[in-house]
Amino acid sequence: MVMRPLGAGLGFIGAFRVGFHVFAATTALLLTLALAACGGGGPAPTCNPSGTQLRITVKETTHNFDKECLAAPMNQAFTIEFENHDPSLGGNHNIHIFDGGTLFVGDFARHGTSITYEVGPLHAGTFRFQCDNHAAAMNGTFIVK
């Protein structure tokens, strides 16, 4: 009896097909993760807390946040690393979290600077965040749970 390693009978074409399916599945998974991460288009992504070090950025050419949703764990202090890459003179932005009343309001980060906000523990809920200078364009959902 001759022992052969698994898959040795596939031949070149078979091995190629297996490889392609793995590649396709990996690509589909990465695409799904990318869509979930950026939140652009498609159905609204679920936005769950992933630790107490949050991060949000204003890109170089926009008055827009790179995220439409932030999430933090309830009853735990957390930080928000805020990078403001906006080079324009009017590009001073901040983060204000509120539920009708203010839960947290951050200092403005001047254009081209970054700031780390330290936010105290928040109660569970679905809130709103915005930049107070550009509230109509720069806003999103802030989930605490």
The residue (of 76 and 133) whose beta carbon lies closer to Cu ion is 133
The least distance separating Cu ion from the CB of residue 89, rounded to whole angstroms, comes to 12
The least distance separating Cu ion from the CB of residue 125, rounded to whole angstroms, comes to 24
Task: Report the residue count for the chain.
Answer: 145
The least distance separating Cu ion from the CB of residue 83, rounded to whole angstroms, comes to 13
> How far, rounded to the nearest angstrom, does the alpha carbon of residue 20 sit from its chain's CA centroid?
30
**Pairwise CA distance, residues 30 & 33, whole Å:** 5
The residue (of 62 and 76) whose beta carbon lies closer to Cu ion is 62
The residue (of 93 and 96) whose beta carbon lies closer to Cu ion is 93
The least distance separating Cu ion from the CB of residue 107, rounded to whole angstroms, comes to 13
**Pairwise CA distance, residues 109 & 94, whole Å:** 6
**Pairwise CA distance, residues 111 & 94, whole Å:** 10
The residue (of 71 and 138) whose beta carbon lies closer to Cu ion is 138
Interface positions with Cu ion (CB under 5 A): 93, 131, 133-134, 138
The least distance separating Cu ion from the CB of residue 13, rounded to whole angstroms, comes to 56
**Residue whose token pair is 């799904």:** 32
**Pairwise CA distance, residues 126 & 63, whole Å:** 24
The residue (of 79 and 133) whose beta carbon lies closer to Cu ion is 133
Please say whether the beta carbons of 52 and 71 come within 8 A: no
3-state secondary structure of 115: strand
